[in-house]
Amino acid sequence: MTILVPLMSKRLSIVVISYNNDRELPRTLLSLGASYQRGIMREDYEVIVVDNGSISPPQQKQFSHMDVDVRIESMPSPSKSPAPAINLGIAIATGDTIGVMIDGARLASPGLLTNALAAMRVSDRAFVGSRGRYLGPDFQALSMKKGYSQRVEDMLLDQIEWINDGYRLFSVSVFDESSGPTWFDLPSESNGLFMSRPLWKELGGYDPAFVSPGGGLVNLDTWFRACHLPNSIPIILLGEATFHQIHGGICTNSADRAQTFIHFNEEYRSIRGTSYQWPNIPVTYYGAFQTPPPAREISTSRFSYEGQKQVLLKAWHKTTTQVKSFFKKS
């Protein structure tokens, strides 16, 4: 006789999608661990990794030493789009609140989980988004052309000892295209998206009609639809973010992002009947800055784009001596 013991529900479930993230996923899970995250206990949450057809799928035993409750699931029928994998993760999650990280290559800032839960208390119609950032001195597609690589990034992360204080990641990163240029610009997507279970059900999860590699614009579509749910309250976290590790993603690290977007927008138009448009709705901000952000991330009115870039590059070279040396040799 087999007795099935139901899983105990958690306050929070985080669904992380993995696809050939052998290098990046361990760091991502470290950044979601209870010894790294602040203000939350290990028993309060679970992390569900859904592998979407990796050549070498992650194994549970690889992460048994980490201070986090991790479940590894594999897609029975992997697809080029992560949408079905995300929906599987949402379906098996036990948390009252469910967060989704569409990319298993993203590091979380230390207050991401506790602040997301706190912001969710505003209303049962609230959902919470965090901004995305690129590790490195520029948009990663541009940084790659200047010599930025996985090896350089490994050196960078070792140098700043990010695991001891994840807020140091802000000093060696920039907003990605969908999240900036300032903390008070409305993002077009979130790579750390949190909703209550009922709101995810109302939204219908991620639309599996998006079948392009990487999901095309499915993440932007999900954010847009959430913003336009009746009486929903979009909340953007201040002082928290996810940080993209370079790994050759379909769109993020594409050398020709413009052409890629055109292709993805064609799929979007075929599904929604119109071209993608950036959401234009009022939002609520929640959180605090652990260290003052640079002026260019508060307001662009006093800085030209080139001016921002030069200030950023100077700060980058000052902070990362080893990386600067590497660039000189390249």
Please list, in sequence order, all residues whose beta carbon lies within 8 angstroms of the beta carbon of residue 127, skipping any fewer than 6 positions away: 120, 193, 194, 195, 196, 199, 226, 232, 233, 234, 235
In contact, 253 and 149? CB cutoff 8 Å: no
**pLDDT value, residue 318:** 44
Distances in whole angstroms, Cα of residue 304 to Cα of each of 7, 85, 299: 53, 41, 11
**pLDDT value, residue 304:** 43
263-279 burial: b if 16+ Cβ within 10 Å, else e:
ebeebbeebbeeebeeb
- Phi and psi torsions of 20, nearest 5°: 50, 45
- Phi and psi torsions of 124, nearest 5°: -75, -5
Read out DSSP for 161-222?
TGGG-GGGGGGGEEE-TTT-SSTTSPPS--SSEEEEHHHHHHHTSS-TT--SGGGTTHHHHH
pLDDT in tens, the chain (330 residues): 334 334 566 899 999 999 999 999 999 999 999 999 999 999 999 999 999 999 999 999 999 999 999 999 999 999 999 999 999 999 999 999 999 999 999 999 999 999 999 999 999 999 999 999 999 999 998 999 999 999 999 999 999 999 999 999 999 999 999 998 999 999 999 999 999 999 999 999 999 999 999 999 999 999 999 999 999 999 999 999 999 999 975 555 555 678 888 999 999 999 999 999 999 999 999 999 998 999 999 986 544 444 444 444 444 444 344 444 433 443
**pLDDT value, residue 7:** 52
**pLDDT value, residue 325:** 44
Please list, in sequence order, all residues whose beta carbon lies within 8 angstroms of the beta carbon of residue 85, skipping any fewer than 6 positions away: 17, 50, 51, 52, 75, 78, 79
Structural domains present in the chain: 12-329 (3.90.550.10)
